[in-house]
Structure 1
Amino acid sequence: MNRREILARHSGSADPVRWLRKRLGWAVAAIGAGLLGLDFWHYCLTHPVVLNALIGGSIAALATALGTLPVVFSHTLSERTQDTLFGFGAGVMLAASVFSLIIPGLAAARLGGAGNWGAGGMLGASILLGGAALLAMERLLPHEHFIKGLEGPPSRVLRRTWLFVFAITLHNLPEGLAIGVGYAATDPLRATALATGIAIQDVPEGLVVAVALLAAGYKRSFAVALGMASGLVEPLGAVLGAVAISQSVSLLPWGLGFAAGAMLFVISHEIIPESHRKGHEAWATGGLMLGFVLMMLLDTALG
């Protein structure tokens, strides 16, 4: 066996030059990513608001990952419990939208010189923009093509499971955005309350995502890994929100309203319908009210 055959046997490719180029490409990409990460870290160290947003978003992502851990040991979670947890998450997000985003947004607009009608109009327009942006993202992202072509009852379960997973991942983006905008609002106590509330409701979200995948027949390790990964967009959203608002204080009311609108869209379009789909409306509503009260107490106590 010559050198080319030996290399092809170990590389899994009949072309050693192509194999080498591929490995070099991955190495260059890794080095580039490392350098970008280092530059970003230096940027965060010189911009405390962005650093705080990154930490807050990372804690929320960690809470999502933490929620998947029970699936490692047990996968028993009734549909009623899932719907109650969904309602709880919706209640936390609803209270966060009102107390941590809309009310501070109105105050910021008034401080910027807007009157009562002007402040209300500004927040109303930004809320509608946030909802419209999420609607556009849902329509434009090709999440349904991921499982295109599947037919029959089992495939319908897989389709609904994957659409649900994508919906949860998508709605984590405005949560991260809300955290970033909150820290950029120069009110660390209120921002901490918001980040804490979002992290609390991310725990059951991670659990429900992992359980849904496990129930659809996927391996436990895959279900846990994807449940953890669903929260990784939150640090990204937090950084984007903090950077955008830090560039211009005049954008603060718009950013707060936009984040609130995006969260309200997710609550109405995804979470509440999913929590009511299986006939446990009373439990889901009870969870929503409990989550709302908990987030309200966090916001008023810390803010």
Structure 2
Amino acid sequence: MQFLAHLSPFWAGVAGAVIAGFLGTAVGGVPVMVVRSLPERLGNALLSFAAGVMLAATFFSLLLPALELAREETSGRVPAAIGVIIALAIGGLVIAMTHRVTPHEHFGRGREGPHVQRIRRVWLFVIAIAIHNFPEGLATGVAAGNPAPHMPGEIPGLGVVIGIGLQNMPEGLAVAVGLLSLGYGRARAFMVAAATGLIEVVGGVAGAAAVSVSHALLPWALAFAAGAMLFVISHEIIPETHAPETGGTISATVALFIGFATMLFLDHTLG
């Protein structure tokens, strides 16, 4: 991925979102060509791994850099912390309100939101995935599109790009298998699953554009993206993968720890 170091910050953010979002999701959907279903415990473990990656990225790749940059802008620890907390809360609130007013359907919890009976079921799933994926793309675009000065050859946000790409693979597989269960053919299930990765590209464009406009927006954009991802982790993934009736809460928890450790390693070694 060395080519990312030679792009402008905006295009590096967009390219990072394409790699992590679209390619990661598409690669994850490939196994649907040979399998028709996943054991529930395995599916939950894979998604829990994704949640662990997202959780670590939220703290180490988004919030900690946001606090450091905010201290430089505000010249104080207290104003920096307050500003980051506000941006974090706004990010979570925006996704929460979107979740509340948008009709959608989860593979586990069923239909939510207004007017769900008026919309075809596959589109309800796509909308749910859009709510889920946009914050991930936003985080990738902000991290990879970081316009701050860096060493020659250094790739800003590389750990985030690789980490989000890894966690998109089990998500892409889960979406494709879920669509198979609704009666869609293998090719169509794969294409729809891959297409949902484009939603992350939209988020990546938004994130990269925001920090390209002004470097001063970077700490607040990082914190906003962290809040959006934290809502998805807490409200969407963990409740579905750790439900007692699934019988796989221990394996899901272990997978979450592994995902967290993986992202911690990537962030520390790649930045």
Normalising by the smaller structure, the TM-score range is 0.7 to 0.9
- Answering whether residue 227 of structure 2 is matched by residue 261 of structure 1, we say yes
Aligned to 2:91: 130
For the residue of structure 2 that corresponds to 1:240, the secondary structure is helix
Is the alpha carbon distance of 1:200 and 1:47 closer, same or farther for their aligned partners in structure 2, counting shifts above 3 Å? closer
Aligned to 1:93: 54
Q: Which runs of 4+ in 1 moved over 4 A?
A: 144-147, 161-165
Number of matched residues?
Answer: 250
Gaps of 5+ in 2: 1-5, 105-112
Measure the CA separation in 2 of the matches of 1:297 and 1:47: 25
**Quick one: which amino acid aligns to residue 219 of structure 2?**
P
TM-score when normalising by structure 1:
0.77
- Answering whether residue 214 of structure 2 is matched by residue 225 of structure 1, we say no
For the residue of structure 1 that corresponds to 2:157, the secondary structure is helix
Aligned to 1:286: 254
**Quick one: which amino acid aligns to residue 268 of structure 1?**
S
Measure the CA separation in 2 of the matches of 1:164 and 1:273: 17
Residue 235 of structure 1 and its aligned partner are, at CA, apart by: 1.4
Aligned to 1:169: 130
Residue 114 of structure 1 and its aligned partner are, at CA, apart by: 3.1
Within-5 A mapping of 1:15-26: none
Aligned to 1:114: 75
Measure the CA separation in 2 of the matches of 1:163 and 1:85: 22
The more displaced of 234-243 and 187-196 is: 187-196
TM-score when normalising by structure 2:
0.86
Is the alpha carbon distance of 1:162 and 1:212 closer, same or farther for their aligned partners in structure 2, counting shifts above 3 Å? farther
For the residue of structure 1 that corresponds to 2:74, the secondary structure is coil
For the residue of structure 2 that corresponds to 1:131, the secondary structure is helix
Aligned to 1:55: 15
Alpha-carbon displacement from aligned partner over 1:167-224 (angstroms, at most 9, x marks no partner): 3332211111111111233355450111110000001100000111112322222211
Measure the CA separation in 2 of the matches of 1:166 and 1:279: 28
Within-5 A mapping of 1:38-49: 48-49=8-9
Residue 162 of structure 1 and its aligned partner are, at CA, apart by: 6.4
From 44, 48, 52, the equivalent of 1:83 is: 44
**Quick one: which amino acid aligns to residue 202 of structure 2?**
L
Is the alpha carbon distance of 1:84 and 1:164 closer, same or farther for their aligned partners in structure 2, counting shifts above 3 Å? farther
The answer to whether the 8 A contact 2:51-2:238 is kept is yes
Gaps of 5+ in 1: 1-45, 151-157
- Answering whether residue 140 of structure 2 is matched by residue 140 of structure 1, we say no
**Quick one: which amino acid aligns to residue 97 of structure 2?**
A
Measure the CA separation in 2 of the matches of 1:254 and 1:225: 35
Aligned-pair identity in percent equals 45
Q: Which has the larger radius of gyration?
A: 1
